Amino acid sequence: MKAIIINEFGTADQLKIAEIEKPVITSDQVLIKVKAIGINPVETKIRAGSHISSKTLKFPAILGKDFSGIVEEVGKNVQNVEVGDAVFGLATQTYAEYIAVSPEVFVKKPENITFEEAAAAPLAGLTAYQAIHDHLKVQSGEHILVQSAAGGVGHFAVQLAKIAGASVSGTASGKNIKFIKELGVDQPIDYKNQRFEEILSDLDAALDTMGGEVLYGSINCVKPGGKVVCLPSYTKDDPKAIELAQKRNINLMWTMLTFKRESLIKLSELIEKGLLKIFVGEILPMNEIAEAHREIETHRTKGKIVVRI
């Protein structure tokens, strides 16, 4: 089978298509023929060698977390899964034509979305879901800020906060203001021409996707006793951010995604009901995986980038 591999850390040019052995499932696994994969910022960091998980990576390495596909083989101990099922989920080493996975890491694909849309949902959708519901615990009537509201995580977070009944302020570039309004953002802010920290105050919570000055500004916009979630792991334990949060009595959290199948089921239900929309900004073929990584590294993508396998 074909898989996308790296033989050493480096730029997107390290990503190569190679022929490798098709995985053999155990009695507790399922073989998935992959139809599409979502591309995430964390994968560009692993590829570059800058992510914490890069330290334990062995070459040649296959990256990837998001996937959608069709069940091709079912282990004898696996129940409630049939050959031919269309599924999507979150695993490892998904940049390949076939993956062997536990049935616990996927759910059935809603019929009202494509395989490409399904592949865009797991990591970004679950990250947003846990930030909004598990960490910020957004309630109806609250006012929250979502940074990078047009991005992969951001566009899910906006919708989930609106479903929860919150008022949402969101930042984006001018070209994406219309898009975030369509998502439900009540107060769109063009970060290139407006300073959000001069516009917003007394927020209940903020979801920061950048760190640094953006994080400091987000903390300053939240009222005492409020909450801020910061996603980029490389900014974890920023002493300036911690000091600022303590002075303002802000609950500052750096969160890591913990896979919960029940959360993926809830996401799937929202998608199936048409309450949660998935925006795929671009679909690229497998041989353009390097371009997909380069686009992610610009930090200016709209929605998710997906590669068709």
Digit-coded pLDDT (tens) for 92-108? 999 999 999 999 999 99
Res 181: pLDDT? 97
pLDDT of residue 52: 83
pLDDT digits (tens, 9 = 90+) for 221-276: 999 999 999 998 888 889 999 999 999 999 999 998 989 999 999 999 999 999 99
What pLDDT sits at residue 236? 87
Give the pLDDT of residue 232. 87
CA 113 → CA 26, 117, 149, 164, distances in Å?
30, 6, 22, 23
Residues 9-20 have a mean pLDDT of 97
Q: Does domain 2-121+278-308 have CATH number 3.40.30.10?
A: no
Per the prediction, the chain carries an average pLDDT of 96
Question: Is residue 119 over pLDDT 90?
Answer: yes
Mean pLDDT, residues 78-100 taken together: 97
The architecture in CATH of the region 124-254 reads 3-Layer(aba) Sandwich (3.40)
Q: Where are the domains of the chain?
A: 2-121+278-308, 124-254
pLDDT recorded at residue 235: 84
CA 102-107-113 angle, 5° bins: 140
Average pLDDT over residues 103-130: 97
Does the pLDDT value for residue 51 go beyond 90?
no
Which residues, including other chains, have CB under 8 Å from residue 96's CB and lie 6 or more apart? 1, 2, 3, 4, 20, 34, 62, 64, 309
Provide the pLDDT for residue 301.
83
pLDDT at 145 over 90: yes
pLDDT tops 90 at residue 55? no
pLDDT surpassing 90 at residue 195: yes
